[in-house]
Each structure stands twice: as structure tokens, then as C-alpha cells.
């Protein structure tokens, strides 16, 4: 007897929701915070609202269920000019293996740049650095024409000066095509794993994400996500992508984290708190190549820039 798609979807969504609520009861400091860094220029340029779309190789990092819809082999690379001397880079690949499903691989490298050292007497010492390396092994498959599921295994290593620690985690996600034409929903829980740290250990930065993606208007995608970290307020992310003649893309998005006080709305207008979370970007497509750029505003922390290249082999 076949299990109906709606039954599978409801069971999965309820399970993930209940599980995430139980995790929220134990909020506190988290470790391996580099796992929270968002990867992929295109998803970032849409405000980080990509859980329900996840329609390219970046699904490796955003929602492995999206890998199931990829028609061809894809590779993407990204470099981020971050705060002060910090930078990070990301590369991912996805390979559709027919009825077996689609396999993905993602690599992330984060470097702090030189950090000043001081002894207990206040004298300067030799500079040191901190770095993070992460490897993501992902898989996505179609359960039926409406429902796709996927999972990712994450292996990572954090190093500070001459000390390093190894850890692991996992993501679980799904994408479901709703009865409304061109509308689909997605959900994922990220960074499920044991406590991690140097000496004292803390929970990983687990997040529950749910979202909607609509593509009913020609050349336009509109996405809406809700993201619930275990240690902070929830985040609402919204973004869109518009393609002109399938050559040039314009993208824009916004993330809001925190509570809105109706009595203090005027104070939010044009303040750093409102500017933080604004993103914009563009892309240009030439044959199998797509070059992307993303600008993200962090308010009082100013802004960052991301550049990336994606290859989609036909």
C-alpha cells in the first residue's frame, strides 16, 4: 500500500518542528559558529531566502533536498571579503546520478587573518591565526513528483594557533510542491550533532528553517524564509531574482532578526539596525558560465562583498 505524499510531508514536518522546539528549550552559547556562515553568492543576494528554492548546486549548503531537481552537473566557487582581515572561500559540486539521486560535495575554508597576541603582563607576543575547514557530503532524491528529501553529513576542523578540534554534524531537509501552481515549500534542520569546543563544549548552532518559493511570474522568483536559531531570535528573510532575457539577473533581499516594537518604529527608520540585513546583487550568464556578485550591509559593521562563478554543464 502506498503512503500518500501528504502523509509523508505532514509526518516529516511535524517531526522536524517538534524536534526543533525541544532543542529550543536548552538555549545558550553555541560552538563552531562558522557553520552559520551562509554560502553561495546567488542565495545570499536573495537575502538568504533559499530553503524552498534550492534549485542549483548551492542546495548542498542550503537544503540537500533541492539536489534532486538538478538536471546536470554543476560546480560553484565563491570568495568573500569579510570583516577586518578575515576572509572565507567556498566551492561545491553536484552530480545527478539518474534514478539513484543526486550527490553533492561542498568545501568551506575560513581564515581569521593575523591576530595580535599579548602575555599576562601586557607585552606583545607573536601573531597567531584561527581557521575553519568544513567538508559537506550531501544527497538528495525524489520520493515522488511532489516530494524530495535530502541529507548532508558535515565534517569540520577548527584550529586556533597550534590547537585544533574535529567535529561532525548533519542536515536533514525536504521540498514539497504545493497544489498551487509554481509554489513550493521547503524545510531543513541544520547542524545536528554532538557538543563541540576547546576544553568546555557547547551545542552546535542548530537552526530550523522553513520557506516558500514562487515562480509563477515569467523570469521572476520570489522567496520567503523563516529561520529559527537555537540561541537567538528568529530571522525573517525575503528576496527575489529577476532574469532579463536569461542573460542578466537582478537580485535583492532583506533579513530581519528580532522583535518589532510598534511604539518605536520611527526609531528603526534608516538606522543601522534596519540597514543591517539588506542585500543586493547581480548575475550574468554566458553559455555554461554564470558570474555572480553580492553586496551585504551589516549596519554599524558596514558591508561585505561576495563574488562567485557557477558552471552548469549541459
User: How far apart, in whole angstroms, are the C-alpha atoms of residue 299 and residue 142?
Assistant: 41
State the pTM of this model: 0.83
User: How far apart, in whole angstroms, are the C-alpha atoms of residue 228 and residue 224?
Assistant: 14
- What the block records as the C-alpha cell of 302 is 558596514
Phi-psi region of 182 (alpha: psi -120 to 50; beta: other; left: phi over 0): left
pLDDT tens-digit series, residues 26-51: 445 787 888 888 899 999 999 999 99
- At residue 149, does pLDDT exceed 60? yes
* Cα–Cα distances in angstroms (integers) from residue 91 to residues 109, 240, 248, in the given order: 9, 23, 23
**Least confident among 132-136, 137-141, 302-306:** 302-306
Q: What are the residue ranges spanned by the domains of the chain? A: 5-243
Per-residue model confidence (pLDDT) at position 34: 83
* Nearest CA-CA partner of 175 in 210, 208, 206, 207: 210
> In which band, very low, low, confident or very high, does the pLDDT at 124 lie, cut at 50, 70 and 90?
confident
User: How far apart, in whole angstroms, are the C-alpha atoms of residue 35 and residue 19?
Assistant: 20
Residue at grid coordinates 546520478: 97
* Nearest CA-CA partner of 37 in 192, 188, 207: 207
Give every CB contact of residue 124 below 8 A, 6+ residues apart in sequence: 116, 117, 118
pLDDT tens-digit series, residues 238-289: 999 999 999 999 999 998 876 554 444 444 444 555 667 789 999 999 999 9
Give every CB contact of residue 79 below 8 A, 6+ residues apart in sequence: 87, 88, 89, 306, 307, 308
Amino acid at each position: 500500500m502506498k503512503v500518500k505524499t501528504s502523509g509523508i510531508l505532514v509526518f516529516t514536518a511535524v517531526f522536524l518542528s517538534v524536534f526543533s522546539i525541544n532543542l529550543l528549550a536548552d538555549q545558550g552559547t553555541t560552538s563552531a559558529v562558522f557553520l552559520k556562515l551562509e554560502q553561495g553568492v546567488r542565495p545570499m543576494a536573495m537575502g538568504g531566502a533559499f530553503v524552498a528554492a534550492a534549485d542549483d548546486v548551492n542546495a548542498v549548503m542550503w537544503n540537500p533536498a533541492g539536489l534532486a531537481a538538478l538536471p546536470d552537473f554543476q560546480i560553484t566557487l565563491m570568495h568573500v571579503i569579510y570583516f577586518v582581515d578575515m576572509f572565507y572561500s567556498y566551492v561545491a559540486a553536484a552530480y545527478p546520478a539518474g534514478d539513484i539521486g543526486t550527490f553533492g560535495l561542498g568545501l568551506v575554508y575560513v581564515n581569521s587573518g593575523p591576530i595580535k597576541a599579548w602575555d599576562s603582563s601586557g607585552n606583545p607576543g607573536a601573531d597567531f591565526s584561527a581557521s575553519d575547514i568544513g567538508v559537506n557530503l550531501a544527497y538528495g532524491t525524489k520520493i515522488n513528483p511532489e516530494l524530495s528529501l535530502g541529507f548532508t553529513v558535515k565534517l569540520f576542523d577548527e584550529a586556533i594557533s597550534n590547537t585544533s578540534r574535529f567535529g561532525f554534524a548533519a542536515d536533514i531537509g525536504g521540498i514539497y510542491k504545493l497544489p498551487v501552481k509554481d509554489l513550493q515549500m521547503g524545510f531543513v534542520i541544520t547542524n545536528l550533532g554532538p557538543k563541540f569546543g576547546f576544553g568546555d563544549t557547547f551545542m552546535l548552532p542548530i537552526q530550523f528553517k522553513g520557506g516558500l518559493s514562487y515562480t509563477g511570474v515569467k523570469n521572476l522568483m520570489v522567496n520567503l524564509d523563516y529561520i529559527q536559531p537555537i540561541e537567538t531570535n528568529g530571522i525573517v528573510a525575503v528576496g527575489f531574482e529577476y532574469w532579463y532575457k536569461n542573460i542578466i539577473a537582478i537580485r535583492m533581499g532583506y533579513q530581519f532578526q528580532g522583535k518589532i516594537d510598534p511604539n518605536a518604529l520611527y526609531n528603526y527608520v534608516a538606522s543601522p539596525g534596519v540597514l543591517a540585513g539588506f542585500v543586493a546583487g547581480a548575475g550574468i550568464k554566458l553559455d555554461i558560465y554564470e558570474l555572480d556578485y553580492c553586496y551585504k550591509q551589516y549596519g554599524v559593521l558596514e558591508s561585505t562583498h561576495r563574488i562567485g562563478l557557477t558552471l552548469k554543464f549541459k
